[in-house]
Amino acid sequence: MADVSLDNVFKTFGKTEVIHGISCDIQDGEFIVILGPSGCGKSTLLRMIAGLETITKGDVSIDGTVVNRLEPADRDVAMVFQNYALYPHMTVFKNMAYGLKIRKMPKAEIKRRVEDAARILEITEFLDRKPKQLSGGQRQRVAMGRCIVREPKIFLFDEPLSNLDAKLRVQMRLEIRKLQETLKITSIYVTHDQVEAMTLGDRMIVMDNGYAAQIGTPLDVYERPATRFVAGFIGSPAMNFLTAVVSADGRQVHLHRDISLTLQNGGLPGHGGQKIIMGVRPEHFVLGQAADAMLHLDLDHVEILGSDTLAYGHLGQDKTQVTLRLPSVYHFKKNTVLHLDIPSKNLHFFNTDTGQRIEMQA
């Protein structure tokens, strides 16, 4: 096992800079998820750690040794790709054993490692089959088994579940986490799927156009997003964003001429008179009474999902769009008016220009 350090890492293709000075210390045995939309640089960052992409500036270290100039084979890492990359003419056993065979490892040791990995992954009965005889999930297990037998210091996963159907992705997600906890190998996992990131990672790096917008535990990132981008990317349905103006004393925010919210504790001192962005997660609205409710939402559409009800509507004359997540017991019809309150503790505020988080005073 090993720790990994990224020290102000940059990557440039020609004149285009795609990774902008990312730094992060990954502890021995930690599971880190690199999360972000397509084109944000997450796979490029993973490939730099693996040695498949050169580093323009900065250092990648493994166990305290800078590996910038080391070949991938010399970094003691194993990578699971989006496609399984199995040899179709080989059995499962031979696919898993091939990397060890070309390293001229003794046959007895190869057999032991392959059988041990197959037992962990519960694919022992498939060792004599060819890849075409396996399901997608079984092929992905074989791909992981090929990495396990190498007994590397670090596992690298590049969107390994993207080719699987929804039900199988859930199953494989649980198996990957269980595998990592069993083997206790430092793991770095790339995905665009926030559910995978929230459920798999000890911490996650949220990428935004080549920058690390936020690094933290899944719960920290969800509850205290550092930027508007992170707030909108994490959570489903996405966070609602409303334009607001802070009162002169910082104790209230005004959404419209007739809608004002009083803030708890010290409010937003120092931001009086400023226009800001207020964020509210769909599940944090509370149904209130018409007489004293803060907001009045005109419903446009309702989706009944069984476990939840999603309600879509608009506020005020400018028809600001808002999404609510409510318990399944609520079955509203279109054109209903919902009277809503928002606990002040569940509000998020962001700078209109920079998108950076603004903290309420305790």
The mean per-residue pLDDT over the stretch 276-281 comes to 95
User: Tell me: the pLDDT tens digits for 44-98?
Assistant: 999 999 999 999 999 999 999 999 999 998 999 999 888 878 899 999 999 999 9
Give me the pLDDT at residue 291, please: 61
Q: Place 1 in a pLDDT band, splitting at 50, 70 and 90.
A: low
Check whether residue 85 and residue 164 sit in a common domain. Answer: yes
Return the DSSP state at 32: E
Check whether residue 128 and residue 195 sit in a common domain. Answer: yes
The mean per-residue pLDDT over the stretch 157-181 comes to 87
Check whether residue 309 and residue 198 sit in a common domain. Answer: no
Q: Which domain holds residue 310?
A: 240-358
The neighbouring-strand residues paired with 280 are 240
Sheet hosting strand 308-315, strand order edge to edge: 286-287, 337-341, 295-304, 308-315, 320-327
Q: What is the CATH number of the domain that holds 87?
A: 3.40.50.300
The mean per-residue pLDDT over the stretch 112-133 comes to 92
Q: Which of 125, 123, 128 is nearest to 143 (CA)?
A: 123
Top pLDDT among 167 and 204 is at 204
Check whether residue 75 and residue 190 sit in a common domain. Answer: yes
Check whether residue 272 and residue 188 sit in a common domain. Answer: no
Tell whether the model's pLDDT for residue 356 goes beyond 90.
Answer: yes
Tell whether the model's pLDDT for residue 331 goes beyond 90.
Answer: no
Measured distance CA(308)–CA(44) in Å, rounded: 37
Q: How many CA atoms lie within 13 A of 157 on its CB side?
A: 33
How far separated are the first and last CA of the chain, in Å rounded? 41
Residues constituting the chain: 362
User: Tell me: the pLDDT tens digits for 340-352?
Assistant: 888 888 899 999 9
90: left (phi over 0), alpha (psi -120 to 50) or beta: beta
What does the block give as tokens for 106? 């003794």
Check whether residue 44 and residue 193 sit in a common domain. Answer: yes
The mean per-residue pLDDT over the stretch 165-169 comes to 84
Which of 174, 209, 233 marks a domain boundary?
233
Which of 196, 214, 233 marks a domain boundary?
233
Q: What is the residue whose two structure tokens read 């009474």?
A: 289
Mean pLDDT across the chain = 90
